[in-house]
Amino acid sequence: MGDWRGHLKTITAHKLRVMELCFRVGLYRQGLLHDLSKYGPTEFLVGAKYYQGDHSPNEAERLATGVSSAWLHHKGRNKHHLEYWIDYAPELDYHMGGMEMPVKYVAEMFCDRVAASKTYLGDRYTDASPWEYYAHSADHYIIHPKTQALLEKLLLMLRDKGEDKTLDYIRREVLKKK
């Protein structure tokens, strides 16, 4: 494997899709800054080495080495990932728990999931795809109940009502931008 050009093309296509979605909901700064850590050597070199084209190279690195160094770096620097918000929770007797995410990062996480589905599925993408991907792994997420409820509401709204209505809802109701 290994294809730095393919990896660069994929992460850039993904970033541009997230940026467009973020702009549509009014998250201009987040759209511009989304996933910049993927272009640094810690993430980019590993991503290029394990590039597959049809799914995240983090999965391939994890299978090859037992851990994804690129993912550990990425999730610790990007607040739109639910894993960024895992901490020792006083209300759970200091067991690990999901902290409530600010809604602007939940909205960016939604945009990220939609863009990732579009990037990896191509013409097989439907508005149900991000929900299906989420539902496949939801049983092992460590996520705050309010964050989970909002993310699920948005993913189901996308599935049932489409992208335009969901993005308008995020802009006007979730983020309260007119």
Q: What is the pLDDT of residues 83-112, one digit of tens each?
A: 999 999 998 899 999 999 999 999 999 999
Residue type, 54: D
Whole-structure pTM value:
0.94
- In this prediction, residue 2 has a pLDDT band, given cuts at 50, 70 and 90, of confident
- Contact present, 17 and 115 (Cβ < 8 Å): yes
> How does residue 177 score in pLDDT terms, banded at 50, 70 and 90?
confident
Residues 6+ apart with CB under 8 A from 4: 44, 48, 51
* Lookup: tokens for 8: 């660069």
Report the alpha-carbon distance of residue 113 to residue 134 in Å, rounded: 8
Average pLDDT, the chain: 95
In the block, tokens 């994929």 appear at 10
- 5-24 pLDDT, tens digit per residue, is 999 999 999 999 999 999 99
Q: Are strands 86-89 and 95-98 parallel, antiparallel or unpaired?
A: antiparallel
